[in-house]
Amino acid sequence: MPALVAMRFNPDLKAKYGKLKAAGKPSKAALTAIMRKLIILANTLLRDQRNWTRP
């Protein structure tokens, strides 16, 4: 569910999803890529002991 919300409201992730769909990826595969990006982002923030700040 967080990936769906992020894909809808985060401009960077929305663009990534659109690019994957335009390349012919199925919707679930593109959504899974968004999930992975969110996990990587969360792990990076935890590793660096940073808080999420909206650009």
Q: Is 52 domain-assigned?
A: no
Model confidence over 11-36: pLDDT tens digits? 999 999 999 999 999 999 999 999 99
* Domain count of the fold of the chain: 1
| pTM of the predicted model over 0.85 | no
Q: How far apart are the first and last CA of the chain?
A: 22
Average pLDDT over residues 4-11: 92
Confidence of residue 55 (pLDDT cuts 50, 70, 90): low
Q: Is 51 domain-assigned?
A: no
Q: Is 41 domain-assigned?
A: yes
Residue span of the structural domain in which 32 resides: 2-46
Q: Is 54 domain-assigned?
A: no
Q: Is 55 domain-assigned?
A: no
pLDDT of residue 49: 93
